[in-house]
Structure 1
């Protein structure tokens, strides 16, 4: 079974829009785990426009499944990672002003930098994952950095699948097959939804984990958080 890690960034966005503590981010994190999710994901950004750095610290006492922290491995971010000691750190090459993640790493060009960061994570016992496009040379580059896993950036798949183009899965299948050959674990995320998750899961060999936030929270507005979490879990079996 592929694990579901719920990204709770959008809960923090809603909370921050009014100040105060409604909705309660920590309660939502506890609830999604109680509903069956096998992990919680956050992606703090430098401007803290949704997840705040203090949220990451507070979540340590709440997350008893897998805790995944995503972000660009700048000094302040890595200090937070080493303070909170999550299960996994997912390295994402966000620009400071990025609205959302929009590209994977060039693992060849950034090999030395990523290798250094990942070596530090290994010393701390934190599993590392590199956010990558489904490009074979980038998968090979990820292996050279010493990463434990890759996270396939799935926006293009989601876009094309929504247009009826099922062949959009093909680069992701090839990327996953290569990752398996190289001994890399396979995660995926970005624009995965109830509409496309079953198809993606069925075609990607060795898919260990998906991180889903925006679609899951939006779908929950209509169908309820507990119901939607369980719908994802059923589709990932």
Structure 2
């Protein structure tokens, strides 16, 4: 549905998600979420994502999306009830009309199936976020994770551990940028990032809080650029991944938060 802006639809989905999992989104946080830039294919002026303007590949400045809370309330898609945002029947109809299957929205655990993340899909990061929500306070294994994705990780998922590689030529600079982001972005201290030079770190995966495993076809930085997939392996394969990467995590060095130098 081309006449519903992507960030409006993304916000509707997030309001619905938070309510269904018993953590309704405070009304004051609606625009904060809507205006948070997702980590798409762009180079940011700031050394970490989610703050200020971004510069696209063509060099044009892309401004933060417009606020949506007043609009959503005005058109009757969302209401403010006791200080929190709630989806109305009309808002849910918009979600369904924009491609969200009604039975998927109502399911207790809609993310059991594998999914392809198409870069042409304007909701590609919504799909990724929905899958990662399943992992709870789990571990993201992503050798190429960048500071640009940290704000999105904190605000849109419950993942609280990230394992990165320190073998790449630019890894030292990336770690320094992540260290600044951890000390600077809101709630950065909630996430622990560790790095390892072990050459066996090459696959991307998410190990859930309860031990479930999801395999990622690319780094989260690559979602939105290339066709990729999120796959749930069999239990025996999951056990191998879980054992391997929890061991690497235990031996890895912590990226210590570092305030930005004046």
- Same fold at TM > 0.5: no
Structure number with the higher helix fraction is 1
TM-score, normalised with respect to structure 1: 0.29
Structure label with greater radius of gyration: 2
TM-score, normalised with respect to structure 2: 0.27
